[in-house]
Chains A and B, each alone.
Chain A
Amino acid sequence: MIWDWSFALEILPVLARAAVISIEATLLGFAIAASLGLVLAVIRIAVPWTGWTISVLVELIRSTPLLIQIFFLYFVFPKFGLVLDAFTAGVMAIGIHYAAYCSEVYRAGFDNIHRGQWEASIALNLSSWTTFRDIVIPQAIPPIVPALGNYLVALFKETPLLSAIAVLELMQTAKIIGSETFRYTEPITLVGLFFLAMSLVSAALIRALERLLNRRNTR
């Protein structure tokens, strides 16, 4: 018997509980990524000489594997006397990794704002903070949102990496079920199907959001 329906139904609740952890990790990781990315992008605009440093930093983070970064955070912090539990270390690593990607998204969004808009606000004697808040951000957001959405989905698909440091998310739970029952087919396939379903639904949502934002923005 290759596929056992009753076994699949039996493990479904266990996997559902683990899915909550995966989703929590996704949301927390994305919150870090989106806010840290924004901070990086804003520093880059506000403090001119940081541009080069931040690009090198982004390149460094994007050029090395997330799995190694997770290990690095998880194993290195204790060396400095700061013991983080696996979930926190993992979520931080994912958040920092994706912050590098998000900062590029914000940067592209801000670069899209025509220079004349900044000049016009100088002419109107607006402070740079007011310009940023009332003029730049409202125009920059529509193209940024779908791109960030894509990274949210990508980040979600990276959460199985947390199983490598034994966080009890979906993949780790599936592996434990597999090693206890010697049946890997159902747990791993169910995890795959769960990710597939979430990805397809979120891709559809992002497309809908994109259409909505475009409609409101056509002048």
Chain B
Amino acid sequence: MGIRTLVAMLVVSLAVIAVLATQATYRLFLPGLLQGAVLTMEIAILGSLLAVIMGVLAALARMYGPAPLRWLATVYVEIFRGTSALVQLFWLFFVLPQFGVTLDAFLVAVLALGLNVGAYGSECVRGAIQSVARGQWEAGTALNMSRAQMLRRIILPQAFIAMIPPWGNLFIELLKSTALVSLITLSDLAFKAQQMNQNTFKTIPIFTLVLLMYLAMSLTVSIGMRLLEKRASLGLARGKAA
């Protein structure tokens, strides 16, 4: 989908929220939902940050690390990709305290979502690094660069561009997964929606607003990533292959 269509959808969804907000039933719910949306955004941003760090570390460890580190990274990726995000969230929230580690719900949310998405992200980092032509490594060798130098100066900058679109998808996955944190008692957007629904039974206005708000957030991420991709690939003739 083109960036223009995405911008148009974002404008339309914001306009619909604005129009709905002029109606008394909808206006009643907007402030509370916005409060929840702020928490959702906080978790999404911190979780994304952790996901990127974990994704890059795990990919590098699996590709270039010594054997024990490689195994550790593989176990991490397989466990977090193989089980459900909700199971991971519950495990950290209910089981970890039994081992004497009690984290508050916000920290659990950021950890679980960040580690979960980071595991998927490590695969796309790995794919992007592998997509850089072999000749680039050979050229680095010819210039007598060390492996770390080649990686830092030649390979990663090029891999970075190839990584942007899949990371964009993962950030949206993470944003959507934040709805799960409502189930470990954090009062995010999904939690507020459920709470208001139980109190008022105004199901349709509440959930319509919530869906529109998530939509607006997802579209913002999509548009941001498209712009980043455009900027990052300036001056690089990579074509549209991704």
Contacts and interface: CB of A to CB of B under 8 A. Distances in A.
How many of chain A's residues touch chain B, expressed as a range? 35 or more
Interface stretch (B124-132, B145-153, B176-184): B176-184
A72 interface: yes
Given A189-B91, A189-B95, A75 B1 contact: no
A171 B87 CA distance: 7
B87 A195 contact: yes
A192 B87 CA distance: 6
Interface stretch (A5-13, A34-42, A158-166, A210-218): A158-166
**Mostly helix, strand, loop or mixed at chain B's interface?**
helix
Nearest to A174: B90
A175 B183 CA distance: 12
B95 A60 contact: no
Contact of A192 (B88, B99, B182, B218): B88
B83 A79 contact: no
Contacts of B172: 62-63
B203 interface: yes
B170 interface: no
Interface residues of B, number: 43
A127 interface: no
B214 A65 contact: yes
A177 to B, nearest CB: 11
**Smallest CB-CB A-B distances: 7 pairs:** A63-B218, A65-B179, A184-B94, A199-B82, A196-B82, A65-B176, A67-B179
Interface of A: 2, 55-56, 59-60, 62-69, 71-72, 75-76, 79, 157-161, 163-164, 171, 174-175, 178, 184-185, 188-189, 191-192, 195-196, 199-200
Given A59-B6, A67-B182, A75-B197, 12 more contacts: A65-B178, A71-B190, A157-B84, A159-B84, A163-B183, A184-B98, A191-B87, A192-B84, A192-B91, A196-B79, A196-B82, A196-B83
14 contacts: A55-B5, A56-B9, A63-B218, A64-B176, A64-B211, A66-B176, A67-B180, A71-B194, A75-B197, A158-B84, A171-B84, A171-B87, A192-B83, A195-B87
